[in-house]
Structure 1
Amino acid sequence: MLFRLFLSIIALSVSSTAWAAHDHSGWDALLKRHVVVTGGGTSTKVNYAQFKADRAKLKSYLDSTSSVSQATFNRWSKNDQLAFLINAYNAWTVELILTEYPNLKSIKDLGSIIRSPWKQKFIPLFGKTVSLDHIEHTLIRGSGRYNEPRIHFAVNCASIGCPALRKDAYRGSTLPAQLNEATKDFLRDRSRNRLQGGRLEVSSIFKWYRGDFEKGWRGAKNLNQFLAIYANALGLTKGQQAALHSGKTKVSFLSYDWRLNGS
């Protein structure tokens, strides 16, 4: 009887270990040291020089993401999976910048005429060597598993036009609140989203990924309805929100700033 109880305890312990979320504390510590909040909380700048000095610690975190097996990943909750993919994307983007920093002005400098930097296969993940595009467009957006348009305010492309790279790591336990905060912070930035003469001018992110915002998240069947959910962050009155939700407000898209988001 005692032997069976002992075996049950061992099995439960092994199971709990296998299901535990990934440890993002190393990435979290790097973000807290090397990311500076600007624009009243709507944006951030990244100290890539300090990141480069801490590259061994960054590599340690990246190695930890590469060591995760597909089977382990599959056992996590959806929120833990999504937090892992967002953090991996952002950390590997920083690593990509560091390969040429400080001799670049934009992440686009790391690409070529025939291949963008996002298509470069340099990331060991789940037993394959993949690209940033693979993480974002195949594993996150293309999987059909998450239906979470707010990831576009979480994954960071190392550019001024991008939503902020957070000062803390994403975690499954707090992911909904973190995504909500990231979305509000981005939409509060009047350099990238603003009402101008009755027309709502927003980031080109909403043009490039429009379909993701029109898949019914919180009932939003079109881009206007999604934006109306965050009317307060956009600084809209109730009347302006109603006009936006009904489709009466025209939406246009601003130019994107691809300059490096360095401090």
Structure 2
Amino acid sequence: MSTPSRRAAIIGAAALLASPAAALRAEGWTRWRRHTAGSRASVDHGAWDAFLAHHLHRGADGVNRLPYGAAKEAGAAALADYVRMLEHTDVDALDRPEQFCFWGNLYNARTVLLMIERWPVSSIREIAISPGLFSVGPWGRKLMRVNGEALSLDDVEHRILRPLWRDPRVHYVVNCASIGCPNLKPTAWRTATLEADLDAAARDFVNHPRGVAVQPDGRTVVSSIYRWFREDFGDGDAGVLAHLAYYAEPRLAAALRSRNRIDDHRYDWSANVWTRGPPA
């Protein structure tokens, strides 16, 4: 096999084996179980709100997008300051709901900052900085340090949020800067509205074609998220379909309840970039 062909084969294998498509299992990191029950301490997410208000735009296709190039020129410094502030937060002093919002906002802000730092790229998977021969994307790289612990994006999602909260709606919280991902929330996650916002995020994704679509021929096609992490949704097609039907609008819900299997899955790794200028 020629060198270019061999390299292409390696990259292709890596794309399958070393990305969220490899469906990392949720394995809880005991250290992050610490919290302060009843604490009134809170984190100021105003800078993240301001960044999103200025840059985030909802496209005509229902996908929230960011002008990463423009944000690189105006907004990156403030975003970096916000991420540093989160890194210096004593997470142990927060109660559990506040911790959940902290981790969700940190994951999203650090992902956006990474995209800005490495822009231009057509997909976050091109930022191949994770350790390992077959690594694709940035998820395994230690990009943050909180309470003295070096953390990767994978750590936040798969060792903290998923295993410690065991709520399938976690998948509607974290955004991987891709078209196929549930939308980046236009404001920070906050405890006061957390439950309502989680349900709203679930409905937003489930009722968009990139979440689930029942084809004219009756075939059910879902986001690859429901395949990669099906254990979080009750495992098996039945659990996924029940989850989807719960958040689906009535017509879609009826179609899903008539199905007993999922026929296919898909995911668009293209960057969720806004290319028509900054939002009004």
Of residues 52, 57, 65, the one that matches 1:45 is 65
Deviation at 1:221, TM superposition (A): 7.5
Quickly say closer, same or farther: Cα 1:237–1:213, change in 2 above 3 A.
Answer: closer
Segments of 5+ residues of structure 1 without an aligned counterpart are 1-14
**What TM-score results when the alignment is normalised by the length of structure 1?**
0.81
**Once superposed, what is the RMSD of the aligned Cα atoms?**
2.3
Runs of 4+ deviating beyond 6 Å:
none
Identical counterparts, % of pairs? 34
Which residue of the partner structure matches residue 195 of structure 2?
A: 176
Correspondence 1:94-113 to 2 at 5 A: 94-102=112-120, 104-111=121-128, 113=133
Deviation at 1:37, TM superposition (A): 0.9
Segments of 5+ residues of structure 2 without an aligned counterpart are 1-35, 275-280
- Within 1, Cα distance between the matches of 2:108 and 2:194? 15
Q: Is 1:203 aligned to 2:203, yes or no?
A: no
Contact kept, 8 Å, 2:98 with 2:190, in 1: the verdict is yes
Correspondence 1:35-114 to 2 at 5 A: 35-39=56-60, 42-52=62-72, 53-73=74-94, 76=95, 78-102=96-120, 104-111=121-128, 113-114=133-134
Correspondence 1:131-150 to 2 at 5 A: 131-143=152-164, 146-150=165-169
Which residue of the partner structure matches residue 231 of structure 1?
A: 248
Which residue of the partner structure matches residue 222 of structure 1?
A: 239
- Within 2, Cα distance between the matches of 1:118 and 1:191? 22
Three-state SS of the structure 2 residue aligned to 1:99 is: helix
**What TM-score results when the alignment is normalised by the length of structure 2?**
0.76
Which residue of the partner structure matches residue 262 of structure 2?
A: 251
Aligned letter for 2:221?
Answer: E
- Within 2, Cα distance between the matches of 1:191 and 1:141? 22
Per-residue CA distance 1:79-129 (angstroms, 9 max, x = gap): 221111110000000111122112x11111111653331001111222112
Quickly say closer, same or farther: Cα 1:192–1:147, change in 2 above 3 A.
Answer: closer
- Within 2, Cα distance between the matches of 1:97 and 1:31? 14
Contact kept, 8 Å, 2:207 with 2:248, in 1: the verdict is no
- Within 2, Cα distance between the matches of 1:138 and 1:185? 26
Of residues 205, 208, 225, the one that matches 1:186 is 205
- Within 2, Cα distance between the matches of 1:166 and 1:200? 27
Deviation at 1:228, TM superposition (A): 1.8
Question: Which is greater in Rg?
Answer: 1
Contact kept, 8 Å, 1:207 with 1:253, in 2: the verdict is no
Quickly say closer, same or farther: Cα 1:179–1:237, change in 2 above 3 A.
Answer: closer
- Within 2, Cα distance between the matches of 1:214 and 1:167? 29
Three-state SS of the structure 1 residue aligned to 2:99 is: helix
Aligned letter for 1:156?
Answer: N
Correspondence 1:159-170 to 2 at 5 A: 159-170=178-189
Aligned length: 231
